[in-house]
Structure 1
C-alpha cells in the first residue's frame, strides 16, 4: 500500500475528512513548523550547515500534503513524475532545473 492510500485510509477510519481549502491551510501550517525548525537550528541562517528538522515535523508536512492530494483526487506519484519530467526538460533546455523566474 502506498503512502497516499495509507493517509486516505487513516483519514477515513478516524473521520478526519476536511475540504481542500482546509487541507491546504494545514499543509502550509505544517511547512511553517518545518521552516521554524530550520530557522532556529541554523540560528536564523547564520549556520546553514546546522539544519536540524525532526523527522516527525517532516512527517506531519508529508501527511498534510498527501491528504491534500487525496482531497483533490490527485495521485501524488503521478504528480511527482510530472514534476520530475518538467525539471528534466528544464535541465535539458537550459542546464538548470529552476523556472528562471
Structure 2
C-alpha cells in the first residue's frame, strides 16, 4: 500500500473526510508551521545555517498534501513523476529547474 492509500484509509477509518478547500487550508497551515520552526530555529534569519524542523511537522505537511491529492482524485505519485519530468526538461533546455525566465 502506498502512502496516499495509507492516508486515505486513515481518513476514512477515523471519519476525517473534508472538502478539498479545507484540505488546502490544512496544508497551508501545516506549511506555515514549518515556516515558523525555520524562523525560530534561525533566530529570525540571523543564523540561516541553523535550520531545524521537527520530522513530525514534515509528516503533518505530507499527510495534508496526500489527503488533498486524495480529495482531488489525483494520484500523487503520478503528479510527482510529471513534475520530475518537467524539471528534467527545463534543466536540459535552460539549465535551470525553475519556472522563471
What TM-score comes out, normalization by structure 1 length?
A: 0.98
- Unaligned segments of structure 1, at least 5 residues: none
Superposition pairs of residues 34-49 of structure 1, within 5 angstroms: 34-49=34-49
- Unaligned segments of structure 2, at least 5 residues: none
Deviations 1:16-43 (A, max 9, x none): 0000000000000000000000000011
Superposition pairs of residues 71-82 of structure 1, within 5 angstroms: 71-82=71-82
Deviations 1:59-88 (A, max 9, x none): 000000000000000000000000000100
Moved runs in structure 1, 4+ residues, more than 3 A? none
Question: Once superposed, what is the RMSD of the aligned Cα atoms?
Answer: 0.7
